[in-house]
Amino acid sequence: MVVGTVELQDGEYDYCFADIWIGIEDIEPYFQIKQIGRKFKKTEIDYWIEYAFVIVLSEYIPMEIMEAFCVASGIPIPVDDESALNEQQIRIRKYIKNLLADVEITTPKKIDDILNPKTVLKMINETDIVF
C-alpha cells in the first residue's frame, strides 16, 4: 500500500486504526480504506465508527427482504421511486442488493441473523463486492 510517497508492506505494522472520515455520512471513504485494508493479512485494522456504517447499511436490508418475498410469492412489487434517494443512498441500496444476492432466508431466525450488525459486518468482510 502506498501512503503519500511511502509504500507500506503487510506486517510492517501490527495494528492500524483508520479514521479519515468526519461521520457516518462519509461511507464512501470508509469503503475505499476498507478495500485497501483487505490486502493486509498480517496487520490488524480497526475502523472508527464501523458499526455505525454497518447500521446505516442495515437499514436497507428490510426492503430487500420484502422485495425478495414479493418476487418469491408472485406479488407485484410496488413501484420504487428512486428519485427520492440521493446518489449515496442509491449506491448503498445497490451494494446491499449485491451483498444479499446469494442469501437464502428460510426461517425467521435467518431474518434475525441477517439484520444483526455483526452478521452484516461479517458479510462485508468476506465479500469482494466493491462499494
**98 domain residue, yes or no:** yes
**131 domain residue, yes or no:** no
Residue 6: per-residue pLDDT: 64
Domain range enclosing 91:
2-126
**30 domain residue, yes or no:** yes
Question: What percent of the chain shows pLDDT beyond 70?
Answer: 92
Torsion, CA 6, CA 8, CA 13, CA 18, rounded to 10: 80
**34 domain residue, yes or no:** yes
Domain count, the chain: 1
Per-residue pLDDT for 83 more than 90?
no
pLDDT (tens digit, 9 = 90+) per residue, 60-77?
Answer: 999 899 888 888 899 988
d(CA 28, CA 97): 17
Contact criterion met (CB below 8 Å) for 28 and 94: no
Q: Which residues contact 87 (CB under 8 A, 6 or more apart)?
A: none
pLDDT (tens digit, 9 = 90+) per residue, 42-55?
Answer: 999 999 999 999 99
**β-pairing, 15-18 with 44-47?**
parallel
Strand, coil or helix: 127: coil
